């Protein structure tokens, strides 16, 4: 039996995070003709396969732009994330690791927080007066061999070794319609590879002291953020899973999400 040319099969499926694939097929003469695949990353869409009768005026399905139909019919608002929407990076509460035993915890946060002769802080915001070395991320305490988790849904765009950062994993994620790149460094090992899709809370590796963390007194995971090229050294805090305040003592007060 030949189906009406008005009938379309619309399939919506998750790729990762808030990115969805869309295929539109039409069965004519017993054969399915697929009209294409579209991707949008700014909404939450109901997944599944839907039969649409375009002869029905209530369907209002436009095969030229089926994504418009999907957004209007299957979409729900995307919640706005806050800094605590990410999954925990490691098991247990978040603690900041100082650079050395004699430095305060602010040396482990993002910004111009360290003092090293010959450096300057022209690549990040100034946090501490008279300090001149930028720290491009947050050092999260983690015993060697601890589980390290992805904070968001995403796609692995790098796993390997980089001088300074040691073994590390970089993940592309969609957060509130924005593409971000977070990396987890100084790992002992990693268990995900280029192209892998991960969910928030997925195990991506084990913490360690690789790179320039070999001799630090506090083993830690370095959480950083880059641009699409892998550079940029952007502040990861807006996409983290904790709030923090710097105390007069130089300690960092952490409010955990979980």
Q: Is residue 56 part of a domain?
A: yes
User: Do residues 175 and 67 share a domain?
Assistant: no
User: Do residues 112 and 212 share a domain?
Assistant: yes
User: Do residues 59 and 142 share a domain?
Assistant: no
Q: Is residue 18 part of a domain?
A: yes
The two tokens of residue 179 are 């593409």
- pLDDT tens digits, one per residue of 164-181: 999 999 999 988 778 999
CATH number of the domain within which 143 lies: 2.70.70.10
Contacts of residue 76, defined as CB under 8 A and 6 or more positions apart, other chains included, come to: 43, 44, 45, 46
The two tokens of residue 223 are 């959480």
More reliable by pLDDT, 204 or 126: 204
Q: Is residue 92 part of a domain?
A: no
Largest interatomic CA distance in the chain: 81
User: Do residues 28 and 125 share a domain?
Assistant: no
Q: Give the N- to C-terminal CA distance of the chain in Å, as an integer.
A: 56
Contacts of residue 92, defined as CB under 8 A and 6 or more positions apart, other chains included, come to: none
Cβ proximity of 228 and 173 under 8 Å? no
User: Do residues 54 and 113 share a domain?
Assistant: no
The whole-number average pLDDT for the span 194-199 is 90
Total tally of structural domains belonging to the chain = 2
pLDDT of residue 36 exceeding 70, the answer is: no
User: Do residues 250 and 171 share a domain?
Assistant: yes
Q: Indicate the DSSP class of residue 91.
A: S
pLDDT of residue 44 exceeding 80, the answer is: no
User: Do residues 167 and 232 share a domain?
Assistant: yes
Q: Is residue 1 part of a domain?
A: no
The whole-number average pLDDT for the span 218-234 is 91
- pLDDT tens digits, one per residue of 45-89: 787 888 888 888 778 888 778 888 888 888 776 555 667 778 899
DSSP H or E run through 168: strand 166-175
**Average pLDDT, rounded, for the chain:** 85
User: Do residues 250 and 145 share a domain?
Assistant: yes
Q: Is residue 86 part of a domain?
A: no
Q: Is residue 147 part of a domain?
A: yes
User: Do residues 59 and 17 share a domain?
Assistant: yes
Quick one: which of 256, 258, 255 has its CA closest to 247?
255
Q: Sign (positive/negative) of CA torsion 177, 179, 185, 191?
A: positive
Q: Is residue 192 part of a domain?
A: yes
User: Do residues 174 and 49 share a domain?
Assistant: no
Cβ proximity of 188 and 233 under 8 Å? no
Note if the pTM is more than 0.85: no
Q: Is residue 82 part of a domain?
A: no
For 30, what's the count of Cα atoms within 13 Å in the CB-facing half-sphere?
1
User: Do residues 111 and 67 share a domain?
Assistant: no
- pLDDT at residue 180 in the model: 92
Q: Give the range of the structural domain holding residue 192, as residue numbers without chain letter.
A: 105-256
Cα gap 43→64, rounded to integer Å? 20
Burial class of residue 179 (count of CB atoms within 10 Å of its CB; 0-12, 13-18, 19+):
middle
């Amino acid at each position: 039996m030949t189906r009406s040319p008005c009938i379309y099969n619309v399939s919506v499926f998750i790729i990762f995070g808030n990115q969805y694939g869309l295929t539109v097929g039409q069965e004519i003469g017993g054969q399915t003709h697929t009209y294409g695949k579209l991707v949008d990353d700014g909404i939450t869409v109901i997944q599944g396969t839907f039969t649409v009768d375009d002869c029905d005026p209530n369907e209002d399905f436009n095969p030229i732009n089926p994504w418009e139909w999907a957004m209007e019919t299957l979409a729900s608002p995307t919640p706005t994330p806050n800094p605590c929407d990410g999954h925990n990076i490691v098991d247990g509460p978040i603690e900041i690791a100082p650079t050395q035993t004699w430095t305060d915890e602010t040396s482990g946060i993002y910004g111009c927080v360290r003092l090293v002769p010959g450096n300057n802080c022209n690549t990040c915001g100034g946090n501490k007066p008279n300090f001149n070395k930028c720290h491009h991320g947050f050092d999260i305490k983690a015993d060697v061999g601890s589980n390290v988790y992805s904070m968001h849904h995403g796609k692995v765009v790098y796993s390997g070794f980089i001088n300074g950062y040691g073994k590390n994993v970089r993940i592309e994620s969609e957060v509130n319609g924005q593409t971000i790149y977070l990396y987890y460094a100084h790992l002992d090992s990693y268990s995900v590879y280029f192209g892998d899709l991960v969910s928030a809370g997925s195990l991506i590796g084990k913490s360690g002291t690789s790179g320039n963390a070999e001799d630090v007194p506090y083993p830690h995971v370095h959480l950083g953020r880059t641009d699409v090229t892998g550079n940029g050294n952007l502040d990861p805090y807006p996409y983290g899973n904790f709030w923090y305040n710097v105390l007069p003592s130089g300690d960092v007060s952490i409010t955990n999400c979980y």
